[in-house]
Homo-oligomer: A and B are copies of this chain.
């Protein structure tokens, strides 16, 4: 038995590539996205009453992983990226059906002629991800305060993020510097580096965020590892 599903919307996201996209939703509240419903789903009726929801579930397709198939066991980043775990015990992308699940904050609903756009934040979806369903988050059934997930009960520890002088100067030239600086801080605090990479202070990492290419390096002391943003350039 097979079922056919079709996108109802695509997301425009500040995350332009897989690297540095957060591993769960809600970790980067400054991350913004727009969900544009496509015909024939773009009728204002389909979202009537949606303003009563503070948060939405998005069911989506891991479209960049479709060609790669699925695996019995995967290497989740929370286990350091070098230990394997059953695919159904993780939310990894290489699943039998490449379906993702994410909860996002609903900021506003924009309805214009022939166009329904949901503005959301806290997302963890790459730009262009096809959305196959949108559902309200229902607190009394979805918020399980006593649930347990031993491998990752708490949110990952965050790193400190500082800006080099050139990066700070580049930031100062942007109209939305407050929002951009928060976005960069929150994204990098998650430490996008694969956990099995040893800290190499000479190495410069880069990722596309919003309209920018952001470069950073790791500064290590005995006590802690800090991220220094070294460059911010327009894409």
Residues of A at the B interface (CB closer than 8 Å) are: 1-8, 24-27, 41, 43, 45-50, 52-55, 57, 59, 61, 66, 72-73, 84-91, 95-99, 101, 103, 130, 132-155
Contact = CB atoms under 8 A, between A and B. Distances in A.
B132 A152 contact: no
30 contacts: A1-B6, A1-B130, A2-B5, A2-B6, A4-B4, A8-B97, A24-B138, A24-B140, A26-B140, A26-B144, A46-B86, A49-B90, A49-B151, A52-B151, A54-B144, A54-B147, A54-B148, A59-B97, A59-B99, A88-B133, A88-B135, A99-B133, A136-B151, A137-B144, A137-B147, A139-B145, A140-B153, A142-B144, A143-B144, A143-B147
A50 B86 contact: yes
A138 B133 contact: no
A57 B102 CA distance: 11
Most chain-B Cβ atoms within 10 A of its Cβ — which of A134, A145, A147? A147
Contacts of A132: 3, 96-97, 99
Contacts of A99: 5, 59, 132-133
Contact of A91 (B5, B66, B136, B149): B136
Contacts of A85: 48-49
A134 B152 CA distance: 17
Nearest to A132: B97
Contact of A59 (B59, B143, B154): B59
B139 A148 contact: yes
A135 B130 CA distance: 19
Contacts of A91: 135-136, 138
A72 B45 contact: yes
Contacts of A141: 24-27, 103, 155
